[in-house]
Amino acid sequence: MGIKIAVLASGRGSNFQSILDGIKEGDIDGKVVLLISDKRDAYALERARQNGIPTQVISRSECSSREEMNLKIKEALDRYSPDLVVLAGYMRIITDEFLIPYRNRIINIHPALLPSFPGLDRQKQAFEYGVKISGCTVHFVDGGCDTGPVIEQACVDIRECKSADEVCKKILPFEHKTMRGVVAKFSKGKYIVEGRKVRYEAD
């Protein structure tokens, strides 16, 4: 039956789609059991519905604090006991209520080569800084802002890009490939975290 995957997304959900494609095409041995969004109008919700995946909206405005929001996420996840939780363009801070019980099972996709350009607007930061090579990083989530152990990275040459928007467009397909690849490997083995290092053991 493969692994149970839960996905959190705030927006269009193209990274979520890359996971769905990986499942359909047989690269990922598993299924998405739940899609959570903090935004009622996120297109990711529509993608989930089209694929018969249960959805839940947990918005910040309906919670009295960030901690309460994270507790609600944890409770929603607990009902499905996922093996892996993917933050696929989820634009909210994770707190201990959710992080501690799911430690080393939450991964995030970041559109820059960490530790360069953490936080928001990273493609814009990379463009404005004038770097020639950027890319994307899939990492475990810890208590910091994009500081968790790195699982996988891909380099993207952005020297021909004329705007931050072009950088976003150029990096996005690499995000999809890297995210899908990591989830596929996760479904067929395990990532072991040793300090800052992540190593992989196939089943």
Give the active site residues: 110
Q: What is the CA 115 to chain-centroid distance, rounded?
A: 16
CA distance 15 to 32: 13
Residue 77 or 168 having the CB closest to ligand GRF? 168
Question: Which residue type does 135 have?
Answer: G
Say how far residue 144 (Cα) sits from the centre of its chain: 15
Which letter does DSSP use for residue 158 in this model? -
CB contact at 8 A, 32 and 53: yes
| Residue count, binding to ligand GRF (CB under 6 A) | 12
Q: Is 111 in the site for ligand GRF (CB under 6 A)?
A: yes
The whole-angstrom separation of Cα 25 and Cα 202 is 20
Which x/- pattern over 65-104 shows residues binding ligand GRF (rule: CB under 6 A)?
A: -----------------------xx---------------
Q: Which of 7, 13, 58, 167 binds ligand GRF (CB under 6 A)?
A: 13
User: Which range touches ligand GRF (CB under 6 A), out of 30-38, 107-115, 124-132, 180-188?
Assistant: 107-115
With CB under 6 A as the contact rule, the residue among 6, 8, 15, 98 that binds ligand GRF is: 15
Contact stretch for ligand GRF (CB under 6 A) within 13-21, 69-77, 147-155, 193-201? 13-21
Return the residues of window 119-178 that contact ligand GRF according to CB under 6 A.
Answer: 175
Give the integer Cα–Cα distance in Å for 68 and 139: 25
Q: Which is nearer to ligand GRF, 78 or 166 (CB)?
A: 166
Q: What is residue 38's three-state secondary structure? A: coil
Q: What is the DSSP letter of 37?
A: E
By beta-carbon proximity to ligand GRF, the closer residue of 43 and 71 is: 43
Q: Which residues pair with 201 in a beta bridge?
A: 190
Candidates 3, 4, 11, 99; binder of ligand GRF (CB under 6 A) is 11
Residue 181 interacts with ligand GRF (CB under 6 A): yes or no: no
Answer yes or no: are the C-beta atoms of 119 and 104 closer than 8 Å: no
Other Cβ atoms less than 10 A from the Cβ of 151: the count is 22
Binding positions for ligand GRF, rule: CB under 6 A: 9, 11-15, 88-89, 109-111, 175
